[in-house]
Structure 1
Amino acid sequence: MPDLLGSSAAAAGEFPPIAAPRKVRPGLLGQALVALDQHRDRIEFRDRIAIADFSAPSSEPRFYLVDMLNGAATSFLVAHGKGSDPDHSGWVQRFSNEEGSLCSSEGVFLTSDYYIGDHGASQRLIGLDPTNSNAEPRAIVIHSAWYAAPEMLLSQPMLGRSDGCFVFGEAQIDYVFDRLGPGRMLFSARI
């Protein structure tokens, strides 16, 4: 199996720099691979996966696009939900699957189709676990917003917060969409 813990496309300058690349923690990667196997009947493409490491603060690149064929892992900043961080500390305190919670959810998501919504280009997510099964009715999606741009960290120590969506800076969203695509796994956890 390729070395999924170290290499990064960020070092190659393939997209706007966001911060020093981080490595996927081995325990989190192990859980993601188990989840990928458990949901193999629903995950059409297994060449790339996404992992959101909500054990890290929003000021660190904690969303990984992992190429399962060559082991490259690219990290990005990603915002979490307001309900998961009510004090706006930059750290996820809790997850929820309840409508109206404004929380991020944990578990396995299946990436779905793209659409144009309130935040421009967005990607639907389908929750495959009991911990995120309401992702569609809650409109938990991937999109971009100004409050998740790396420049936010120049004026405050954390990103802004979403209503539970996975939110990226506008300069990074096309790269994320291009590499992730529909039919792949997004694994969200805090371990």
Structure 2
Amino acid sequence: MPAPPRRTRSDARQNRERLLEVAALVFAEQELDAAPAVIAQRAGVGVGTLYRHFPTREALIDAAYQRRLTLVCEQAAELLPGRTAAEAMQEWMTHFVGYATAKHGMAQALNTVIASGTDPYAGSRALLTGAVGTLLAAGAEDGSLRTDLTADDVLLFMSGIAQSAGQAGSPEQSARLVGLLLDALVRR
């Protein structure tokens, strides 16, 4: 009989999480110029640990992107307790624009993942639609958000804000645009 799979040690899980966090930041800053040794050093681990978790640059880029997206999407539900859905939506949209702006910095790195035959965006739409849907449903329940919009509508608007913020916009302009979008989402 085959041996049962071993559980990952807690320090190994922490190393992996730290590597993903640092890799996302470094790839956003340096794109393909990011050296694995720099990522490992900033994460406080050896290069061997990096390669044990992520055997290729593409695997590291994909995992870092997926982790960041998952964390942003999980925030939607985490922001609801103690806030109206409209307040949670505004805070989440601000987080999303920050995430999307950093993702623009990773664009070249993500293109290498796509070229390797992996689609890092395959599950993105479902995660994002789920996050926005959670906030819209809470807004319908507490009466703070309009009920005639879909998650896809909101994501389309947010994509435009994120696109402009990533190219030439300033953080202040992004905040104003998020505020304008929230005004359109609030139930009157």
TM-score, structure 1 as length reference: 0.26
Higher strand share: 1
* Structure with larger RCO (C-alpha < 8 A, sep 6+): 1
TM-score, structure 2 as length reference: 0.27
Higher helix share: 2
